[in-house]
Amino acid sequence: MFNAFRTIVVRDLLLAMRRRSDVLTTLFFFVIVVSLFPLGIGPELDTLRLIAPGVFWVAALLASMLALEKLFFVDYQDGSLEQMLLAPQPLSILVLGKVLAHWLVTGLPLVLLSPLLGLQYDLPAATIATMMFTLLIGTPALSLIGAIGAALTLGIRGGGVLVSLLVLPLYIPVLIFGAGAVEAEASGLGGAGHLSMLGAILLLAALAAPLATAAALRISAE
């Protein structure tokens, strides 16, 4: 199972490198959205510090949804999905490999860029570190939850809009606790409680989302 998992991850990373435009679209969207708010609101530093957690997390959430439609679409078109369904390895393990590859090319770059973008909001180093940590925990949860919606809408015309409507309500707890942890740290209250809830969401998503996604893929492939 580990060899199959590794093969799926490496394969999807290679395919992503061949479709750099899709990866860069997500990254540029995040950068543009985060960078436009300081220009539109003005140079008031107190206001920028106040809105920064919400801006970063909303931008990360929307950027994550941009790449969901193509998570399984290429495999569905070229017949690879049928081979995954027939493989002796559990489909949930293969799904987990695809989600990991999806996060490495769409979620991890957002985490690495957040410190640089945080300077635009005059955020202290401790707040930036907390923001990076919340994104590091929260963005994999977004990818895992989004995979369920991507599998349910696979092959449906206009699936990109439909998948957004399906996963957006499930994203709200991640958004609340992710932004809440940064706000609590910035105000000096400590974000340990929010981080614990965010970690619990990630753990629950890691256990349940691959199974739910595998079931949804079987339904969509029929």
Residue 16 belongs to domain spanning: 2-221
pLDDT band at 193 (very low <50, low <70, confident <90, very high): confident
pLDDT band at 158 (very low <50, low <70, confident <90, very high): low
pLDDT above 90 covers a percentage of the chain that reads 20
Q: What is the pLDDT of residues 51-94, one digit of tens each?
A: 888 889 999 988 888 878 778 877 777 777 778 888 788 888 88
Q: How many angstroms separate the CA atoms of 164 and 156, rounded?
A: 13
- Residue pair 89/49 in contact by the 8 Å Cβ criterion: no
- CA of 91: how far to CAs of 83, 126, 214, in Å? 10, 41, 6
- CA of 144: how far to CAs of 10, 36, 141, in Å? 18, 28, 5
Q: What is the pLDDT of residues 164-187, one digit of tens each?
A: 788 888 999 999 998 888 888 877
Q: Look at residues 170, 191, 192, 156 and name the one whose alpha carbon lies nearest to residue 69.
A: 156
pLDDT band at 134 (very low <50, low <70, confident <90, very high): very high
pLDDT band at 205 (very low <50, low <70, confident <90, very high): very high
- Residue pair 156/135 in contact by the 8 Å Cβ criterion: no
Q: What tokens appear for 44 in the block? A: 């008031």
Of 133 and 72, more confident: 133
Only one residue has tokens 């570190």, namely 129
Cβ neighbour number for residue 92 with a 10 Å cutoff: 18
- Which helix (H) or strand (E) segment holds residue 210: the answer is helix 192-221
pLDDT, averaged across the chain: 85
> Above 90 in pLDDT, residue 200?
yes
Number of domains in the chain: 1
For 5, how many CA atoms within 13 A lie in the half-sphere containing its CB?
A: 10
Q: What tokens appear for 84 in the block? A: 């995954």
Cβ neighbour number for residue 21 with a 10 Å cutoff: 7
Of 187 and 146, more confident: 146
